[in-house]
Chain A
């Protein structure tokens, strides 16, 4: 099976700060890939390069190629807006729109594409909330404000919102770090269900989570990709010394 996203010579900068140094990585299709590493190693920056969110920060820039299904998303003339509908993102702290209801949050992205037919919207809301394992908990009160639900539910709402625009890839930036273990478990479970239809990349500072959830794991350190491979092998038989040090907890 070929890779969904392939980066070639990816370098990312915040002004003069060189955050991603020559990363070549291939994200396999319909699988969960975890990116681990100590704080500041560039894992969030790496996935933000995959949906062209990195350049949104003032002074930030990207060099190199990021191929989505063989086409470079940074090719001149490519519209970032289109890229982001194909590659969705969920953030560390749940960020539903507080002035919108759960229903409106879920279809916020869909409405942007001009869909007005309430039948389509209704079915999309139900479908995405079911995918995000939130439907049963909120279906009786879809008009409640998007922030009136618990943190774990808000994060699942954000996942539903991202899924409603039918992306091909879902990027998650430490999605569970603000949540309790039960909410975390719920999200990890739903990721398993999602990977058949989506390519998933999850950044996590929690190695156990990577071991539980991911098919493949990448280890990054100070902007460089140190090692990448099948999760089992990375954790049981790391090739690089740095990887072994991190896994065994000798730093970061």
Chain B
């Protein structure tokens, strides 16, 4: 009996078509589901949207007693804490990436990279717990007083260090974005061809000059994308921020004053909220969704091929 041979290498039997269709629908299902849920979420926020309109984004008051809600203090809080996180976290991450990519002896590269990625494995709520009892005393006793002494005359450091403020929240966020920014930056640097380093070295550049001239410039879009990704993490981070930012629904320029981010507002108020307040809270969620979407899409567009370097170690946000 003649063996059944397919007409072409990729002949589509009926089972094949069925299989492909099923996998395709599963893949599309998640996508569709997520967008449907987003629509539902917007629907849930409808009450608040129609009540406050565009003024929601500019409204500075969050008052359950008067049933008046505005998002401005929390957009502000998110911006401030994320900025601090980037200002501290990105340079440290680049330093780590430079060490891992250019300076470290080969036997230490793998284990050290792994340990840096382990930073991402610690659950956010444990970061918050640690921040409360270990970081906070250090900040209040040692670090914040230094800033007050140096910059107390500026509105940024006006006031007394208590320890539950935007500064501390920013610091813990900085620590939490390090594994992401460092790993992706490191990949971007490793991708720089050796011929570039050779070019710099042959001109009589020292090791650090070579790194600056040949590696950092070449990898700068990757490092930029890594920072955007870090920003995305910082914006969406909930638990550690909730536990350190001080839970105050107001706008204050001093970093030593408590504040509130969009994420921490939702976390802090979820249990008791109902009616218009609940709807407003969900609308905050919508705003957060939009911000996170823009930032993460931007990051993906800039560093698409390095996305795989983001540590998947666990931990939760």
Contact = CB atoms under 8 A, between A and B. Distances in A.
Direct A–B contact present (CB less than 8 angstroms): yes
A84 B204 CA distance: 5
A213 B231 CA distance: 57
A65 interface: no
A99 B220 contact: yes
Nearest to B209: A112
A250 B249 CA distance: 86
A25 B206 CA distance: 29
Nearest to A88: B202
The 4 A-B residue pairs with the shortest CB-CB distance, nearest first, are A109-B203, A85-B204, A89-B202, A99-B217
B199 A53 contact: no
A52 to B, nearest CB: 9
Counting chain B residues whose Cβ lies within 8 A of the other chain, the interface size class is: 10 to 19
A58 B106 CA distance: 9
B218 A99 contact: yes
A1 interface: no
B201 to A, nearest CB: 6
B58 to A, nearest CB: 40
B205 interface: yes
Contacts of A89: 198, 202
A151 B206 CA distance: 27
Interface of B: 106, 193, 195-196, 198-206, 209, 213-214, 217-218, 220
A172 B214 CA distance: 20
A53 B198 contact: yes
Interface stretch (A126-134, A157-165, A221-229, A240-248): A157-165
A82 B199 CA distance: 15
B217 A97 contact: yes
Interface of A: 51, 53, 56, 58, 81-82, 84-85, 88-89, 91, 93, 95-100, 108-109, 112-113, 158, 161-162, 165
B198 A95 contact: yes
B196 A81 contact: no
Contact of A82 (B201, B204, B220): B204
A81 B206 contact: yes
A98 B217 CA distance: 9
Contacts of A91: 195, 198-199, 202
14 contacts: A53-B201, A56-B198, A81-B204, A81-B205, A84-B201, A85-B203, A89-B202, A97-B199, A100-B217, A109-B203, A109-B204, A112-B203, A161-B203, A165-B203
Contacts, number: 63
Nearest to B206: A81
Given A58-B106, A108-B213, A112-B209, A97 B196 contact: yes
Given A51-B202, A97-B218, A161-B203, 19 more contacts: A53-B201, A81-B204, A82-B204, A84-B204, A88-B202, A91-B198, A91-B202, A95-B193, A95-B195, A97-B196, A97-B199, A97-B214, A97-B217, A99-B218, A109-B204, A109-B205, A112-B213, A161-B199, A165-B203
A141 to B, nearest CB: 21
Contacts of B196: 95, 97
Which of B196, B201, B218, B220 has its CB near the most chain A CB atoms (within 10 A)?
Answer: B201
A98 B196 CA distance: 9
Nearest to B212: A112
A153 to B, nearest CB: 16
Nearest to A93: B195
Which of B193, B203, B209 has its CB near the most chain A CB atoms (within 10 A)?
Answer: B203
Contact of A162 (B106, B203, B213, B218): B203
A84 B198 contact: no
A91 B200 CA distance: 12
Contact of B201 (A56, A99, A158, A161): A56
A165 B218 contact: no
Which of A58, A81, A113 has its CB near the most chain B CB atoms (within 10 A)?
Answer: A81
Which of A91, A96, A108, A158 has its CB near the most chain B CB atoms (within 10 A)?
Answer: A108
Contacts of B200: 97, 108
Contacts of A108: 200, 203, 213
Contacts of A113: 204
A109 B201 CA distance: 9
Contacts of B198: 53, 56, 89, 91, 95
A108 B199 CA distance: 10
Which of A56, A85, A161 has its CB near the most chain B CB atoms (within 10 A)?
Answer: A56
Given A95-B195, A95-B196, A162 B205 contact: no
Contacts of A158: 199
Contacts of A88: 202-203
A112 B205 contact: yes
B217 A53 contact: no
Which of B195, B202, B209 has its CB near the most chain A CB atoms (within 10 A)?
Answer: B202
A84 B203 contact: yes
